[in-house]
Amino acid sequence: MEKVVIITGASRGIGREIAKRLAKKGLKVIANYNKSEKEAEKLKAELEQEEISIDIVKADVSKREDVRKLVKYTLNKYDKIDVLINNAGISEYKLFTDETDKDWNKIINTNLYSAFAMSQEVIPNMVHNKSGLIINISSAWGVVGGSLEVVYSISKAGMDGMTKALAKELGPSNIRVNSIAPGMIYTKMNEKFTEEELRGIKEEIPLGVIGEASDISKCIEWLIEDKYTTGQVISINGGWIIT
Ligand code: NAP
Protein backbone atom coordinates (compact mmCIF):
# COMPACT_ATOMS: atom_id res chain seq x y z
CA MET A 1 0.00 0.00 0.00
CA GLU A 2 1.08 3.59 -0.63
CA LYS A 3 2.55 5.53 2.27
CA VAL A 4 0.07 6.87 4.81
CA VAL A 5 0.67 10.43 5.99
CA ILE A 6 -1.03 12.52 8.66
CA ILE A 7 -0.73 16.29 8.23
CA THR A 8 -1.93 18.42 11.12
CA GLY A 9 -3.44 21.82 10.29
CA ALA A 10 -4.01 21.04 6.62
CA SER A 11 -7.08 23.21 6.03
CA ARG A 12 -5.05 26.25 4.97
CA GLY A 13 -1.65 27.59 4.03
CA ILE A 14 1.40 25.36 4.16
CA GLY A 15 -0.43 22.25 5.44
CA ARG A 16 -2.99 22.45 2.65
CA GLU A 17 -0.24 22.70 0.02
CA ILE A 18 1.57 19.70 1.52
CA ALA A 19 -1.68 17.70 1.47
CA LYS A 20 -2.27 18.54 -2.19
CA ARG A 21 1.25 17.68 -3.32
CA LEU A 22 1.39 14.35 -1.47
CA ALA A 23 -2.14 13.30 -2.47
CA LYS A 24 -1.32 14.03 -6.13
CA LYS A 25 1.76 11.81 -5.73
CA GLY A 26 -0.52 8.97 -4.66
CA LEU A 27 0.08 8.96 -0.90
CA LYS A 28 -2.85 8.29 1.44
CA VAL A 29 -3.38 11.68 3.04
CA ILE A 30 -5.16 12.31 6.31
CA ALA A 31 -5.64 16.06 6.39
CA ASN A 32 -6.44 17.35 9.86
CA TYR A 33 -8.26 20.58 10.55
CA ASN A 34 -9.81 22.14 13.63
CA LYS A 35 -11.91 25.24 12.96
CA SER A 36 -11.79 25.60 9.18
CA GLU A 37 -14.24 22.87 8.21
CA LYS A 38 -15.37 24.59 4.99
CA GLU A 39 -11.79 25.02 3.76
CA ALA A 40 -11.03 21.35 4.54
CA GLU A 41 -14.14 20.24 2.65
CA LYS A 42 -13.14 22.47 -0.25
CA LEU A 43 -9.70 20.86 -0.36
CA LYS A 44 -11.26 17.39 -0.44
CA ALA A 45 -13.73 18.40 -3.18
CA GLU A 46 -10.97 20.05 -5.24
CA LEU A 47 -8.91 16.85 -5.21
CA GLU A 48 -11.97 14.70 -5.92
CA GLN A 49 -12.39 16.61 -9.18
CA GLU A 50 -9.05 15.08 -10.15
CA GLU A 51 -10.27 11.68 -8.88
CA ILE A 52 -7.96 11.85 -5.87
CA SER A 53 -9.39 10.87 -2.52
CA ILE A 54 -8.19 12.16 0.86
CA ASP A 55 -9.52 11.90 4.40
CA ILE A 56 -10.28 15.07 6.31
CA VAL A 57 -10.45 14.68 10.09
CA LYS A 58 -11.46 17.30 12.63
CA ALA A 59 -9.28 17.34 15.74
CA ASP A 60 -7.91 20.01 18.04
CA VAL A 61 -4.34 18.75 18.20
CA SER A 62 -3.65 20.75 21.36
CA LYS A 63 -5.83 18.20 23.18
CA ARG A 64 -4.72 14.63 23.91
CA GLU A 65 -8.19 13.09 23.40
CA ASP A 66 -8.48 14.65 19.93
CA VAL A 67 -4.95 13.55 19.03
CA ARG A 68 -5.87 9.98 20.02
CA LYS A 69 -9.03 10.19 17.93
CA LEU A 70 -7.06 11.32 14.85
CA VAL A 71 -4.47 8.58 15.18
CA LYS A 72 -7.10 5.93 15.93
CA TYR A 73 -9.09 6.95 12.85
CA THR A 74 -5.96 6.55 10.70
CA LEU A 75 -4.95 3.18 12.13
CA ASN A 76 -8.50 1.78 11.92
CA LYS A 77 -8.69 2.73 8.26
CA TYR A 78 -5.13 2.12 6.98
CA ASP A 79 -3.48 0.01 9.70
CA LYS A 80 -0.22 1.99 9.54
CA ILE A 81 1.27 5.48 9.67
CA ASP A 82 4.40 6.11 7.60
CA VAL A 83 4.74 9.87 7.92
CA LEU A 84 3.60 12.41 10.51
CA ILE A 85 3.83 16.10 9.66
CA ASN A 86 3.37 18.32 12.72
CA ASN A 87 2.34 21.49 10.92
CA ALA A 88 -0.58 22.95 12.93
CA GLY A 89 0.43 26.23 14.48
CA ILE A 90 -0.57 29.69 15.59
CA SER A 91 1.39 32.88 16.08
CA GLU A 92 0.91 36.03 18.08
CA TYR A 93 2.52 39.43 17.73
CA LYS A 94 2.80 40.92 21.22
CA LEU A 95 5.24 42.51 23.63
CA PHE A 96 6.73 39.81 25.86
CA THR A 97 5.55 41.64 28.99
CA ASP A 98 1.95 41.64 27.66
CA GLU A 99 1.86 37.86 27.16
CA THR A 100 -0.50 36.21 29.64
CA ASP A 101 -0.50 32.66 31.00
CA LYS A 102 -3.46 32.06 28.70
CA ASP A 103 -1.42 33.18 25.66
CA TRP A 104 1.46 30.96 26.77
CA ASN A 105 -0.78 27.91 27.18
CA LYS A 106 -2.52 28.45 23.86
CA ILE A 107 0.66 28.91 21.81
CA ILE A 108 2.72 26.23 23.56
CA ASN A 109 -0.13 23.71 23.49
CA THR A 110 -1.02 24.33 19.84
CA ASN A 111 2.53 24.46 18.48
CA LEU A 112 4.65 22.31 20.78
CA TYR A 113 2.44 20.06 22.91
CA SER A 114 0.61 18.98 19.74
CA ALA A 115 3.89 17.75 18.22
CA PHE A 116 4.73 15.94 21.48
CA ALA A 117 1.33 14.27 21.77
CA MET A 118 0.98 13.43 18.05
CA SER A 119 4.46 11.91 17.99
CA GLN A 120 3.82 9.87 21.13
CA GLU A 121 0.63 8.45 19.65
CA VAL A 122 2.10 7.45 16.24
CA ILE A 123 5.50 6.16 17.37
CA PRO A 124 4.35 2.72 18.64
CA ASN A 125 3.03 1.88 15.16
CA MET A 126 6.22 3.17 13.50
CA VAL A 127 8.41 1.18 15.93
CA HIS A 128 6.32 -1.93 15.18
CA ASN A 129 6.89 -1.36 11.44
CA LYS A 130 10.59 -0.47 11.96
CA SER A 131 10.01 2.50 9.68
CA GLY A 132 8.73 6.05 9.95
CA LEU A 133 9.30 9.74 9.39
CA ILE A 134 8.26 12.67 11.60
CA ILE A 135 8.58 16.20 10.23
CA ASN A 136 8.11 19.18 12.53
CA ILE A 137 7.31 22.47 10.84
CA SER A 138 9.16 24.85 13.13
CA SER A 139 10.29 28.36 12.14
CA ALA A 140 13.26 30.61 11.52
CA TRP A 141 12.25 32.33 14.77
CA GLY A 142 12.95 29.12 16.67
CA VAL A 143 16.50 29.28 15.32
CA VAL A 144 17.31 32.98 15.77
CA GLY A 145 14.42 34.37 17.86
CA GLY A 146 11.76 36.84 16.77
CA SER A 147 11.09 40.15 18.52
CA LEU A 148 7.41 40.45 19.59
CA GLU A 149 7.08 36.70 19.02
CA VAL A 150 8.94 35.37 22.04
CA VAL A 151 6.48 32.66 23.08
CA TYR A 152 6.12 31.59 19.45
CA SER A 153 9.93 31.45 19.17
CA ILE A 154 10.09 29.32 22.34
CA SER A 155 7.51 26.90 20.94
CA LYS A 156 9.42 26.51 17.68
CA ALA A 157 12.84 26.17 19.37
CA GLY A 158 11.20 23.45 21.48
CA MET A 159 10.14 21.62 18.34
CA ASP A 160 13.71 21.74 17.03
CA GLY A 161 15.01 20.41 20.35
CA MET A 162 12.52 17.59 20.15
CA THR A 163 13.61 16.84 16.57
CA LYS A 164 17.26 16.47 17.55
CA ALA A 165 16.71 14.39 20.70
CA LEU A 166 14.01 12.17 19.22
CA ALA A 167 16.09 11.50 16.10
CA LYS A 168 18.74 9.98 18.37
CA GLU A 169 16.22 7.95 20.36
CA LEU A 170 14.37 6.64 17.30
CA GLY A 171 17.24 6.18 14.82
CA PRO A 172 17.79 2.55 15.92
CA SER A 173 14.11 1.86 15.04
CA ASN A 174 14.67 3.31 11.55
CA ILE A 175 12.46 6.31 12.30
CA ARG A 176 13.76 9.65 11.05
CA VAL A 177 12.84 12.97 12.67
CA ASN A 178 13.50 16.33 11.03
CA SER A 179 12.37 19.95 11.28
CA ILE A 180 11.69 22.29 8.43
CA ALA A 181 12.14 25.89 9.57
CA PRO A 182 10.46 28.24 7.08
CA GLY A 183 11.30 31.91 6.87
CA MET A 184 8.47 34.06 5.57
CA ILE A 185 5.85 32.23 3.50
CA TYR A 186 2.73 33.82 1.99
CA THR A 187 -0.20 32.51 4.08
CA LYS A 188 -3.00 33.78 6.30
CA MET A 189 -0.53 33.74 9.21
CA ASN A 190 1.21 36.76 7.70
CA GLU A 191 -1.90 38.80 6.95
CA LYS A 192 -0.98 40.92 9.97
CA PHE A 193 1.87 42.58 8.02
CA THR A 194 1.19 45.70 5.98
CA GLU A 195 2.38 46.06 2.36
CA GLU A 196 5.11 48.37 3.59
CA GLU A 197 6.28 45.90 6.23
CA LEU A 198 6.36 43.11 3.64
CA ARG A 199 8.43 45.31 1.33
CA GLY A 200 10.88 45.87 4.19
CA ILE A 201 11.13 42.14 4.85
CA LYS A 202 11.75 41.41 1.15
CA GLU A 203 14.65 43.87 1.21
CA GLU A 204 16.23 41.84 4.03
CA ILE A 205 15.95 38.56 2.10
CA PRO A 206 18.96 37.93 -0.17
CA LEU A 207 16.79 36.22 -2.80
CA GLY A 208 14.45 39.23 -2.65
CA VAL A 209 11.17 37.32 -2.50
CA ILE A 210 8.81 35.91 0.10
CA GLY A 211 8.48 32.15 -0.08
CA GLU A 212 5.49 30.10 -1.20
CA ALA A 213 3.93 27.09 0.52
CA SER A 214 5.17 24.95 -2.38
CA ASP A 215 8.78 25.74 -1.35
CA ILE A 216 8.05 23.79 1.83
CA SER A 217 6.01 20.98 0.28
CA LYS A 218 8.77 20.24 -2.27
CA CYS A 219 11.23 19.67 0.58
CA ILE A 220 8.73 17.37 2.30
CA GLU A 221 8.37 15.30 -0.86
CA TRP A 222 12.15 14.96 -0.95
CA LEU A 223 12.40 14.03 2.76
CA ILE A 224 9.83 11.27 2.26
CA GLU A 225 11.93 9.75 -0.54
CA ASP A 226 15.18 10.23 1.37
CA LYS A 227 16.55 7.56 3.73
CA TYR A 228 19.56 9.10 5.48
CA THR A 229 18.60 12.55 6.78
CA THR A 230 17.65 12.71 10.43
CA GLY A 231 17.91 15.11 13.38
CA GLN A 232 18.24 18.12 11.08
CA VAL A 233 16.63 21.56 11.06
CA ILE A 234 16.27 22.43 7.38
CA SER A 235 15.99 26.18 6.87
CA ILE A 236 14.00 27.37 3.85
CA ASN A 237 14.07 31.15 3.88
CA GLY A 238 15.63 32.67 0.75
CA GLY A 239 18.83 33.28 2.71
CA TRP A 240 17.04 35.55 5.21
CA ILE A 241 18.64 33.69 8.10
CA ILE A 242 21.97 32.01 7.61
CA THR A 243 23.47 30.38 10.70
P1 NAP B 1 -2.10 29.23 8.63
O2 NAP B 1 -2.38 29.55 7.22
O3 NAP B 1 -2.58 30.14 9.68
O4 NAP B 1 -2.62 27.75 8.92
C5 NAP B 1 -2.53 27.19 10.19
C6 NAP B 1 -3.16 25.84 10.18
O7 NAP B 1 -3.04 25.30 11.51
C8 NAP B 1 -4.63 25.87 9.83
O9 NAP B 1 -4.93 24.82 8.94
C10 NAP B 1 -5.32 25.65 11.18
O11 NAP B 1 -6.52 24.89 11.05
C12 NAP B 1 -4.31 24.79 11.89
N13 NAP B 1 -4.48 24.78 13.34
C14 NAP B 1 -4.33 25.81 14.22
N15 NAP B 1 -4.63 25.41 15.46
C16 NAP B 1 -4.98 24.10 15.37
C17 NAP B 1 -5.39 23.12 16.31
N18 NAP B 1 -5.50 23.40 17.62
N19 NAP B 1 -5.67 21.86 15.87
C20 NAP B 1 -5.57 21.56 14.56
N21 NAP B 1 -5.19 22.45 13.62
C22 NAP B 1 -4.90 23.70 14.03
O23 NAP B 1 -0.53 29.12 8.87
P24 NAP B 1 0.67 28.61 7.94
O25 NAP B 1 1.45 29.79 7.57
O26 NAP B 1 0.19 27.67 6.91
O27 NAP B 1 1.53 27.84 9.06
C28 NAP B 1 1.72 26.44 9.07
C29 NAP B 1 2.89 26.13 9.99
O30 NAP B 1 4.08 26.74 9.47
C31 NAP B 1 2.72 26.69 11.40
O32 NAP B 1 3.20 25.77 12.35
C33 NAP B 1 3.60 27.94 11.39
O34 NAP B 1 4.06 28.28 12.67
C35 NAP B 1 4.71 27.51 10.48
N36 NAP B 1 5.43 28.64 9.88
C37 NAP B 1 4.82 29.48 9.01
C38 NAP B 1 5.54 30.54 8.47
C39 NAP B 1 4.93 31.51 7.51
O40 NAP B 1 5.61 32.48 7.14
N41 NAP B 1 3.70 31.32 7.04
C42 NAP B 1 6.87 30.75 8.84
C43 NAP B 1 7.45 29.87 9.74
C44 NAP B 1 6.73 28.82 10.24
P45 NAP B 1 -8.00 25.42 11.47
O46 NAP B 1 -8.16 26.80 10.88
O47 NAP B 1 -8.89 24.38 10.88
O48 NAP B 1 -8.02 25.45 12.97
Quick one: which atom of ligand 1 is closest to the CA of 88?
7
This model's pTM is above 0.85: yes
- For residue 73, indicate whether it is catalytic: no
Quick one: which atom of ligand 1 is closest to the CA of 12?
9
- Predicted confidence (pLDDT) per residue in 79-106, tens digit: 999 999 999 999 999 999 999 999 999 9
Greatest CA separation for the chain: 52
Select from 14, 61, 91, 240 the residue to mutate for testing ligand 1; criterion: most ligand atoms less than 8 Å from CB. 14
Cα 128 to middle of ligand 1, angstroms: 30
Ligand 1 atom 8: residue of nearest CA: 9
Instruction: Round to whole Å and give the CA distance between 49 and 213.
Output: 22
How many alpha carbons fall within 13 Å on the CB side of residue 239?
8
Give all domains of the chain, ordered by start, each with its CATH number: 4-236 (3.40.50.720)
Percent of the chain at pLDDT > 90 equals 98
Cα 172 to middle of ligand 1, angstroms: 31
What strand order describes the sheet that includes 4-7? 55-58, 28-33, 4-7, 83-86, 132-137, 175-182, 233-236
pLDDT value, residue 1: 81
